[in-house]
Amino acid sequence: MPVILTKDNGGKTMPATMTVAEPELQVTEEQLEAQVMPGSGLNAPFIAGELSAFLAHERAGAALYRTAQQNSANPMLTSRYKEFGRETAEHIAIYEELIRALGGDPGYVSPVARMTEQLGSKLLEGPVLLAGSVDEMTLDTAFLEAVALAEFKCHANWQLLARLAGDMPAGQAREAVLNAVAQVEPQEDEHLEWATSTWQKLAMTQAKHSLVAKAGQVVEGVVGKVKDALN
């Protein structure tokens, strides 16, 4: 499953001042108004653009979980990263299904979605670039912070969709949004709570123990205390 859509894997976009797309790959506001929830009275181009960005964020989240899992030696963390990464992949499929149900195209990459892709890559950049230059607990903390930030946005996205459904006219489109929210929001609640509380637990455990480091390696006993606290 691609993280970034391009013309080579079905991506389409809206031409802008610095965005060039071949004619067959261009999407216009008029097309979006005609295809996405026609007759709803809502701002279809904006909603299509936001859904595209939400989908891009989920794709970035899947990459974040995969990378965090590969870079942690803590079994509890890697187990959770694997579990939540699998659920995030399911959320991607649910977004794609929802976009189709509303008359859109999951291959449409809105201008705001391109910015979301860049934000997602930056969230990964710090931990990945410094993975070989920091100790195990510092790296685990950095990835947990990145996951907590990403999950805050995921959670906010689904909350916004729930609010949007409240203003949609009764019908298939509204039911599609409500169904998607019902499937995903409880999992997003769990993801956000776990990432935030685990990051805090890791930080507090380290704060309450004196860390003795030699050549960038934290003493083994302290590492054990941290791992025990997270299990």
Q: List the CATH number of the domain containing 151.
A: 1.20.1260.10
Buried b / exposed e across 44-73, counting CB within 10 Å, b at 16+? bbebbbbbbbbbbbbbbbbbbbbbbbebbe
CA angle 184–57–97, rounded 5-degree value: 50
Residue 135 has pLDDT above 90, yes or no: no
* Domain membership flag for residue 66: yes
C-alpha–C-alpha distance, residues 22 and 168, integer Å:
34
pLDDT reported for residue 214: 44
Q: What is the pTM assigned to this prediction?
A: 0.82
pLDDT averaged over every residue in the chain: 85
Share of the chain above pLDDT 70, in %: 80
| Contact between residue 76 and residue 230 where contact means Cβ atoms under 8 Å apart | yes
pLDDT reported for residue 216: 43
How many structural domains compose the chain?
1
Residue 16 has pLDDT above 90, yes or no: no
Residue 179 has pLDDT above 80, yes or no: yes
* Domain membership flag for residue 163: yes
* Domain membership flag for residue 121: yes
* Domain membership flag for residue 76: yes
* Domain membership flag for residue 2: no
Residue tagged 């797309």 (tokens)? 21
Segment 158-163 shows an average pLDDT of 96
The beta strands (E) that lie in 77-206 are given as 108-109
Its domain, for residue 176, covers 7-230
